[in-house]
Amino acid sequence: MAGQRVEVDGGIMEGGGQILRVSTALSCLLGLPLRVQKIRAGRSTPGLRPQHLSGLEMIRDLCDGQLEGAEIGSTEITFTPEKIKGGIHTADTKTAGSVCLLMQVSMPCVLFAASPSELRLKGGTNAEMAPQVDYTVMVFKPIVEKFGFQFNCDIKMRGYYPKGGGEVIVRMSPVKQLNPINLTDRGSVTKIYGRAFVAGVLPFKVAKDMAAAAVRCIRKEIRDLYVNIQPVQEPKDQACGNGNGIIIIAETSTGCLFAGSSLGKRGVNADKVGIEAAEMLLANLRHGGTVDEYLQDQLIIFMALANGVSRIKTGPVTLHTQTAIHFAEQLAKAKFIVKKSEDEEDASKDTYIIECQGIGMTNPNL
C-alpha cells in the first residue's frame, strides 16, 4: 500500500474543506498515501475545524488507516489508507457541522467496502454553507442512485446552528462497479413542491409566511403550475434547538430535480427567507442544465469512479466543481472535458456539458 505519497495543495481553487473531502475519499478508495498541505490556508480561521476533523477520523476508521497532523487548526495532514471495511461507522462533529458533508466524504468509500455499512452521522442537519439534509434526501439521493446503487437515509433528529445535535443514519450495501450516467435532457418542469419548517420556539406562522412568500415569488415567473409548499412544525422529539428554513424542488418530465433553499437567521424576516429560496430555484431553472449548482460538484467523484463515459449538462461550472474535477484528474486519473453546450435551445444560455471517462473502479472485495 505505502507507495509514493500524493501531494495535494489545500490552498488552491476552492481552498477549503471540499479539497480535503475529495482528496481523502479518493486516497481511501485508490489506496494512495496522501499529504495535504496549506489546509484552508486562506480562510479566516485557517486549518482544520471540528467538522473537517470528524470527517477525516471517519475515513481513517472506515479503512483502518493512519492519520497524522489531525487536530484543530492544523494545516497539514498525512493519511495512509488500508482496506475499506463495512459495518457501523460513527462521526460526530460535536457542533452544527454538516452531516451532509460527512456523508459526501464517506459515501463513495463505503460503496467499495467488503460488506454493508451503517453511517451514524451527528451534527447539523439544516446548517449554513452546506446542503440541508432535505436536499440530500430529495435531490441528491434520487440522482446519485442512477449510478447503480441505493442507500437509505433515516433522519433521527434534526439539529441547527449553533448547537447541532442532529443525527442521521445512512445504510448502504457495496457495489461491484458504478454505472456511468447521462443527464443531458432536461425536459420541462412538471411540478414544484417543498417544505417550510420551524423548530423549537419559533411560531408556526413563520413557516406559513416563508411558504406563502416563496409561492408568490415563483408565481410571478411560472404561472401554469400548482406550487405546493407545506409548512411544517418539526416535532419536539425530532428536533434539537431552534431553527427555520425552506427547501423548494422543481421536477421535470425527464426526472431532473432542482432546488432552492434558505435558512432563517436571527432578525431576518420570514418572507425574505422564502423569497431567497424561490429566487435560487428560479435561477437554477434559467440556465438550461439538468442539475442545479449544488449537485454539480457532488456528482464529479462518482463520474470519475464509474465504468464508462458520463455526461451531465449544467449551468455555469462552479468553483467547487472545477476543484472536484482537478483532484479527480490528479488522483484518480479520470479524464474530464468541459465544453459549451451546442444544443440550439442552449445557444443563448450559459450551458455546459461535463463529460468524464470514468476509471471503472472495481470493488476488490466482491
8 Å CB contact between 124 and 93: yes
Contact 164, 347 (CB under 8 A): no
Give the C-alpha separation, 67 to 263, whole Å.
Answer: 35
Q: Quote the radius of gyration of the chain (alpha carbons, Å).
A: 20
* Helix extents (H) in 195-306: 204-221, 270-286, 293-305
- Residues 197 and 204: their CA atoms lie apart, in Å, by 8
CB 306 within 8 A of CB 180: yes
CATH 3.40.50.20 fits 189-285, yes or no: no
Other CB atoms within a 10 A radius of the CB of residue 252 amount to 17
Round to whole Å and give the CA distance between 63 and 82.
Answer: 5
357 in a labelled binding site: no
Structure confidence by residue, pLDDT tens digits, 126-157: 998 899 999 999 999 999 999 999 999 999 99
Instruction: Respond yes or no: is residue 287 known to be catalytic.
Output: no
Is 230 marked as binding a ligand?
A: no
User: Which pLDDT tens digit goes with each residue over 19-35?
Assistant: 999 999 999 999 999 99
Helix, coil or strand: residue 279: helix
CATH of 6-183+291-359, one of 3.65.10.20, 3.40.50.1240, 3.10.180.10, 3.40.50.1100: 3.65.10.20
- The pair phi, psi for residue 49, each rounded to 5°, is -100, 170
4 is in an annotated binding site: no
Instruction: Round to whole Å and give the CA distance between 212 and 231.
Output: 9
Where in the chain are the domains? Answer: 6-183+291-359, 189-285
pTM, two decimal places: 0.97
Q: Which of 166-175, 280-289, 340-349 has the lowest mean pLDDT?
A: 340-349
Cell numbers placing 36: 495535504
Cell digits of residue 6: 500524493
Residue 352 annotated in ligand binding? no
Q: Which three cell numbers stand for residue 89?
A: 461507522
Where would I find the beta strands (DSSP E) of 49-165?
66-68, 77-80, 87-92, 117-123, 151-159
**Do the domains at 6-183+291-359 and 189-285 have one common CATH topology?**
no
The single residue listed with the C-alpha cell 442544465 is 289
Q: Identify the active-site residue in 52, 287, 320, 326.
A: 320
What average pLDDT score do residues 73-85 get? 97
pLDDT category at 207 given cuts 50, 70, 90 is very high
Amino acid at 106: S
Q: Which residue, chain included where needed, has cell 481523502?
A: 24
